Amino acid sequence: MKIPFFKIIAVIFCFCFGKANNAIAQQWGTPQSFGGVNPLVTVNLNDVHFPSDSIGYIVGDNGTILATTDGGLHWVSQISGTTSALKAVCFTNNTSGFACGANGTILKTSDGGTTWQSYPTGLSITLFTIYNNGSFGMTGGNDGTVLKTIDSGSSWSTVATSFTATTVTSISFPISSNTNHLWVGTANQTVGYTLNGGTSWIMAGGPPGPSAAIKSIHARSSNDVFRVVGTNVERGSSPSGMWNVEYLGNSNALNDIHFANQTSVYGHAVGALGTIIKTTNGGSSWNLETSNTTQFLRSVFMLSGVEGFAVGNNGTILLYRAATTTSIEDFNLRDSMSKAYPNPTNSQITIPYSFSGNETVGKITIYDISGKLIKEFKVDNTFDKLIIETNDFSAGTYYYNLTTKMGVSDTKKIIVIK
């Protein structure tokens, strides 16, 4: 349903905060624990990517693609046109992106996933990783296969490499770097580095890690690169091939690693049995975090040091919201919205809201019963209630919540009658 017009009136209304709720204090939790809705998905979810703080995509087995427009609180399924397991996803902006997976599958969308187009590769192998930066992109998989595009994915050509006897597991462009600079990780611990878009390669693999596959490689810059090997996090630079163990894990294998940007000192890695580790000093040391799950976590994506996402087996989706106040007992975003009135309504509804601490801006988001985003309203502390005309709503049940940098309020219900 498209709502063409909302009339908004802001007037003053006083409302006080209550006691703190542990959903704000907790750092990793499901969408529901942060006021959203857990999607009814049970397949393994293999990769997550957010091109912006509100728009995100997840891919998984059986051709599963999920999308969110509200920072991961609500997810909707998209039609991929395939039943092949999708292993990786990458977007260059909110609407243009790629996915890849089993049976040589490469998919592309230019409309935010409303439609996905398949690009035949003639391959029967699994492609495990894909990376795109505008017109230039690469994907890789079994048998050391690396494919390259220079026309935004319209065509793909094979790139000659020296690691044909293994599986390409991960591809990473250094953040904010020339797209010709590229790192590739493989299942036999070989690391390839190219300065010219794959025309030639410098090999930078080998010890000190365990005899295990490189499951993920993440290049913060051309000479500051992290990889996860077995239970370890290792750090290296180009083109020396020297790797230092920054985190020596015990038993749970790691599967993915991600930093929000080149200068961020915050990074996360995820893996088996819900393992999540975090660095707050640029990767020099790492500490275990509580994930609140024992599922195998396959992918992590950090938007910042205080916001991120992880996905894994059996439909697992986790959101990360770090507590950013020292007096969390005095703050409760979940109590920052009282009930809308009149409810049910047939013409107009009032949503009271309030901020705490240093928060001054946020957004109130409205969804239909399926979790589809209907409308967002920016709000600030100039006023403390939002009045919305509902004449253009269809009769039915809707949900709303308030989001700020601190977190998300409880989701509440509106009933519109005609």
User: For residues 66 and 93, what is the distance between their CA atoms, to the nearest angstrom?
Assistant: 16
User: For residues 346 and 181, what is the distance between their CA atoms, to the nearest angstrom?
Assistant: 58
Please tell me whether residue 104 adopts helix, strand or coil conformation.
Answer: helix
pLDDT tier at 173, thresholds 50, 70, 90: confident
pLDDT score for 415: 83
Residues 6+ apart with CB under 8 A from 178: none
Among 6-15, 126-135, 229-238, 258-267, the minimum mean pLDDT is found in 6-15
Average pLDDT over residues 87-94: 95
Which of 225, 220, 157 minimizes the C-alpha distance to 192?
225
pLDDT score for 306: 77
- Three-state secondary structure readout of 145-212: CEEEECCCCCCCEECCCCCCCCCEEEEECCCCCCCCCEEEEECCCCEEEECCCCCCCEECCCCCCCCC
Is a pLDDT exceeding 60 seen at residue 6? no
pLDDT score for 205: 60
Is a pLDDT exceeding 50 seen at residue 11? no
Report all structural domains of the chain as residue ranges with CATH numbers, in order of start.
8-18+332-416 (2.60.40.10), 28-321 (2.130.10.10)
User: For residues 209 and 227, what is the distance between their CA atoms, to the nearest angstrom?
Assistant: 10
pLDDT score for 163: 77
The two structure tokens encoding residue 120: 């035949």
Secondary structure (DSSP) of 316-342: -EEEEE----S-GGG--GGGS----BS
pLDDT, one tens digit per residue, over 364-408 is 988 876 667 888 899 988 888 999 988 888 888 788 888 887 777
Mean pLDDT, the chain, integer: 83
pLDDT score for 10: 35
pLDDT, one tens digit per residue, over 24-64 is 344 899 998 887 888 999 999 999 999 988 899 999 999 99
Is a pLDDT exceeding 80 seen at residue 128? yes
pLDDT score for 226: 94
Q: Facing residues of 78 across strands?
A: 65
pLDDT score for 384: 86
pLDDT, one tens digit per residue, over 311-362 is 999 999 999 987 543 332 233 333 356 788 998 888 899 998 888 767 788 8
Is a pLDDT exceeding 50 seen at residue 12? no
User: For residues 73 and 138, what is the distance between their CA atoms, to the nearest angstrom?
Assistant: 30
CA distances from 212 to 219, 283, 352, 364, 417 (A): 20, 21, 55, 47, 60
